[in-house]
A and B are shown apart, each in its own frame.
Chain A
Amino acid sequence: MNSSSVNAQSGGDAKVAPGEELLSVANVTLRFGGVTAIQDISFDILKGEVRAIIGPNGAGKTSMLNVINGFYHPQEGTIRFRGETRTKMKPYEAAASGIARTFQNVALFTGMSTLDNIMSGRSLKMHQNFLTQMFYYGPARDEEIAHRRRVEEIIDFLEIPHIRRQPVGKLPYGLQKRVELGRALALEPDLLLLDEPMAGMNLEEKEDMSRFIIDVNQQFGTTIALIEHDMGVVMDLADRVVVLDYGKKIADGEPGEVQADQGVIDAYLGVPH
């Protein structure tokens, strides 16, 4: 897997050079009835960086990801991805434009094997029609095998060949998280959204996952937006950090700056009244 082929295959036409803006969120407000989940938030994600989104529970981090990949449609504000401002976008359109994600609570296809789960990430790149698939005839078989080869590369990369044939429902939690990452990687996304990839893991599993995230970012050049509660991980992995609290942005900057920010410290530790 080299980064050039990744870029060449991903959905859109506009190329974004490393270091330029890939996604920008401007003045986004999201309400559920009377509850404002996200209030006037703006930030950007640059091509090739690891961007962390942190904040206490209920700060609106997951809502933010849901806005980015089209599950929620914000009442106000705009989202620009690869230079295109999008209006109401469906999740499958977000996927087609090059955004993949993993979930806080693993959302794998539990009845399918690891192999099929990761193959499912290739769906958008498979184009054989019904007729050829029906007979599993030449082109359909070749396509299936070509994608199988790519999927095997991902399986090797994530070091999970031993669970290739197992139904994912029976795998331990740490491996399920890894398979989910593999499924997202199979889309060869421009932007990978990771929602608490290390929640509930032990130290060793966290180290493995961190290693995979760094490798994905550096080897394939995938831009990553990361929600995580483990501050050690965030400070080590992230290039820049956005801090949310009660739906508002309270800080934005490099890990060191954010760590020293009085507002952030107050949000996490509380303020004496």
Chain B
Amino acid sequence: MFYREAGQFKTSYKADQAIFPILQDRVGLGLIIVLALLVPLFGSDFLINSFMIPFLIFALASIGLNILTGYCGQLSLGTGAFMGVGAYSCYKLATIFPEVNILVHILLSGFFAAGIGCIFGLPSLRIKGLYLAITTLAAQFFLEWCFIRIPWLYNYNDSGAIEVPTRTLLGTPITGPSSTPSVRYYVILALIIFLAWIASNLIRGRIGRSWMMIRDMDIAAELMGIKPLNAKLSAFAVSSYFCGVAGALMVFMWLGAAEVESFSINVSFQVLFMVIIGGMGSLIGCFLGAAFIFGLPIFVRALPDQIGVAINASTVDHISRMVIGALIIFFLIVEPHGFARLWQIVKEKLRNWPFPYG
């Protein structure tokens, strides 16, 4: 009843092709952005630092993986490593060219990840499905090895870790220990909105369609004139770019320092779960999935304290793991297509409400 496109007539294809053709969607998005902007005014630093910032960063990594897996149908387990490539190349750029703004470095570092992603995407021309996942696993292990064995990458640091130098934007520190969470949050939010917009533009255009064609029916895609090489490698490149930028943001604007463990296979799996839970082939799903996988443990751990039950920390941790595992299974049984599909169903229902059928 409240969510209707009735009465909203499109008189041009331009209006019809807009990202959010329905007025309510535009209003809703505007509200979400305003709320997101208001978070630092009302939320604690804890909320920002341990939920909002990592949530946005992982949402970006999920967009990256979703482009590859959800839109182009190429399963990858190398997300963590591609994030690592972004982080290490950003670190190298920031130390070699300290005078250039760090945001430029962060955006550039994605290109290194894209290049590496393309190289490890080459097997996808011959291998499909689970077998491809295994070759991307090779990328994961090989790159992890590089991050340990090539000391040049971490500037021959004794600890083997990369430590983020303080960098400023318009005189305000945005990275390093002296930057405040709110400032970092705003920078990340701006970048994520920008990059998500670019992702949605690519997806609705020719390039995005060529990815989906390869995903749905590669033989027919070739007959429509799509070269599998171009489509698959461009998906690998764009996907790795997003993952690389997410990795650079993760180290520079969240962790502050990182070593190879920050980019382990666990990260790859975590991002993959976000994509699966959120919904393959959906950008909104990336945000929902990241919020769920990242936010649920925080919520579950904070719950006993909130309701005044005293349990020791390790028990809480164990219980939260069990609860999260069970919830993931529950959601996948109820809706195998993830939150994005649930959201779609809710929209359908809202459209017809209060009637059962439209």
Contacts and interface: CB of A to CB of B under 8 A. Distances in A.
Interface of A: 69, 71, 90-92, 94-96, 100-101, 103, 107-112, 116, 119-124, 126, 128, 130, 133-136, 140-141, 144-145, 148-149, 152, 183, 187
B222 A92 contact: yes
Interface stretch (B185-193, B212-220, B327-335, B349-357): B212-220
Given A95-B225, A145-B17, A133 B207 contact: yes
Nearest to A109: B216
B223 A91 contact: yes
A111 B205 contact: no
B13 A120 contact: no
Given A133-B205, A135-B201, A145-B14, A111 B212 contact: yes
B310 interface: no
Contact of B224 (A95, A128, A141, A152): A95
B220 A103 contact: yes
Interface of B: 12-14, 16-17, 198, 201-202, 204-207, 209-210, 212-213, 215-217, 219-227, 234, 281
Given A91-B223, A133-B205, 17 more contacts: A92-B224, A108-B220, A109-B215, A109-B216, A111-B212, A111-B281, A112-B213, A116-B209, A123-B225, A124-B224, A136-B205, A141-B14, A144-B204, A145-B12, A145-B14, A145-B17, A183-B224
B198 A92 contact: no
A133 B201 contact: yes
A128 B208 CA distance: 13
A90 B210 CA distance: 17
B205 A69 contact: no
A148 B281 CA distance: 22
Contacts of A122: 206
Given A123-B225, A134-B201, A136-B201, A148 B17 contact: yes
A130 B223 contact: no
Contacts of B225: 92, 95-96, 123-124, 187
Contacts of A128: 205-206
A136 B204 contact: yes
The A interface is mostly helix, strand or loop, or mixed, namely helix
Contacts of B201: 133-136
Given A133-B206, A135-B201, A144-B205, A111 B223 contact: no
A234 to B, nearest CB: 24
Nearest to B16: A148
A149 B16 CA distance: 12
A140 B205 contact: yes
11 contacts: A92-B226, A101-B223, A108-B216, A108-B220, A120-B224, A135-B198, A136-B205, A140-B205, A144-B17, A144-B204, A148-B13
Contacts of A108: 216-217, 220
Nearest to A142: B14
B209 A92 contact: no
A159 to B, nearest CB: 20
B204 A120 contact: no
Contacts of B13: 145, 148-149, 152
Given A92-B222, A92-B225, A134-B198, A112 B209 contact: yes
Nearest to B12: A145
A123 B206 contact: yes
Given A123-B210, A134-B198, A112 B223 contact: no
Nearest to A135: B201
Contacts of B215: 109, 111
A193 B207 CA distance: 26
A137 to B, nearest CB: 9
Nearest to A148: B13
Given A95-B224, A103-B220, A130 B207 contact: yes
Given A116-B212, A120-B213, A148-B13, A134 B222 contact: no
A103 B219 CA distance: 10
Contacts of A91: 219, 222-223
Contacts of B221: 109, 120
